[in-house]
Homo-oligomer: A and B are copies of this chain.
Amino acid sequence: MQLQHLLLLLAISLPLLDTTRAADPLPSWNESPTKRAVVSFVARVTREDSADFVPRSQRIAVFDNDGTLWSEQPMYVQLRFAIDRVKQLAPQHPEWQDREPFASLLKGDTNAALAGGEKAILDIVMASHAGMTINEFEELVNDWITTARHPQTKRRYTDMIYQPMLELLAYLRANGFKTFIVSGGGTEFMRPWSERVYGIPPEQVIGSSIKTRFELRDSKPVLVRLPELNFIDDQEGKPVGIHQHIGRRPIFAAGNSDGDLQMLQWTDAGKGPRFCVLVHHTDAKREWAYDRNSHIGRLDKALDDAAQRGWTKVNMQRDWGIIWPPSKNASHSK
């Protein structure tokens, strides 16, 4: 190559390199050991001259949703959706006035309704999530998620996603990772907005599900949602869901509760470099502080495992400069 051409190439590429060097891909993360650990792991697995180099196709990263990518207090967002839907459907179901958990729910006593435990929650979920086509359900979710607001923050739920985790997702993707959601929440509840909000396409969303059935209605094929559980993507279910859906073991996993323990164990036990991270809710002022004694997102056994196995812990109060994205409609704090 002639010198003038070399100079031309350098002139083109040098400013690019400079920009790359200067831009912080994780601006909402405070300078801390947590941030340094993430950046160092990504460098180790992506540099071709690194002993820990991992080919692009094997850079699988999995993220829990509730409490890891968005807020889950004081009640899972999807349960809120289900309750709103039950209230909406109540006029068509006069029998609910005398039947639990619906009777309490319609009187506004959510605690009494949920006192029935798993059975009560299942009744509420089936009444609100089944009996329509997949397209009808998608529309219901879209309508709700764009209008409903959190009772305390008055924010839309999709404005209560964690800005630092958004940056982490984008940073991993920019480094050749394929990012997946692996959530106990419903697959069909997340997919309508996961691409818009997280940049994660529907085919990379793994969750719990009910069964669907193929039918021809007036020669038009539809998929109908049935009131029957298909899969619970929580605890021991998470590695099963990952295997069913992805078929290879992640090298990066992020969770925040005991529901994520097996996913973290499964990720950690693979050969080669691994990164397991637990989001620890330590910020009672800007979000919520909870762990071992919480009913929602209990973090107890996984906290012990994290210490034993050297998993990375995100201390939200210390590590995150902001929690939620700046919003025009609400203040930063709850």
Chain A residues with CB under 8 Å of chain B are 4-5, 8, 57, 60, 134, 178, 187-188, 191, 195, 201-205, 209, 212-214, 216, 220-221, 223, 230, 236-237, 239-240, 243-248, 262, 265-266, 269
Contacts and interface: CB of A to CB of B under 8 A. Distances in A.
Contacts of A188: 247
A269 B220 contact: yes
B212 A243 contact: yes
Given A213-B236, A214-B236, A214-B266, 12 more contacts: A187-B244, A187-B247, A191-B247, A202-B247, A202-B248, A203-B247, A205-B247, A209-B244, A212-B240, A221-B262, A221-B269, A223-B239
Chain B CB within 10 Å, residue with most, of A220, A230, A240: A240
A8 B8 CA distance: 11
B203 A245 contact: yes
A141 to B, nearest CB: 12
A304 to B, nearest CB: 13
B265 A221 contact: yes
Nearest to A248: B202
27 contacts: A5-B8, A8-B8, A57-B195, A57-B201, A187-B244, A188-B247, A191-B247, A202-B246, A202-B247, A202-B248, A203-B203, A203-B245, A203-B246, A203-B247, A203-B248, A209-B244, A212-B240, A212-B243, A212-B244, A214-B236, A214-B240, A214-B262, A214-B266, A216-B265, A221-B239, A223-B240, A223-B266
Contacts of A191: 247
B262 A243 contact: no
Contacts of A265: 216, 221
A25 to B, nearest CB: 23
Contacts of A204: 203
Contacts of A266: 214, 221, 223
B243 A223 contact: yes
Nearest to A223: B243
A221 B278 CA distance: 19
Nearest to A215: B236
Nearest to A247: B202
A144 B8 CA distance: 54
Nearest to A230: B244
A61 to B, nearest CB: 12
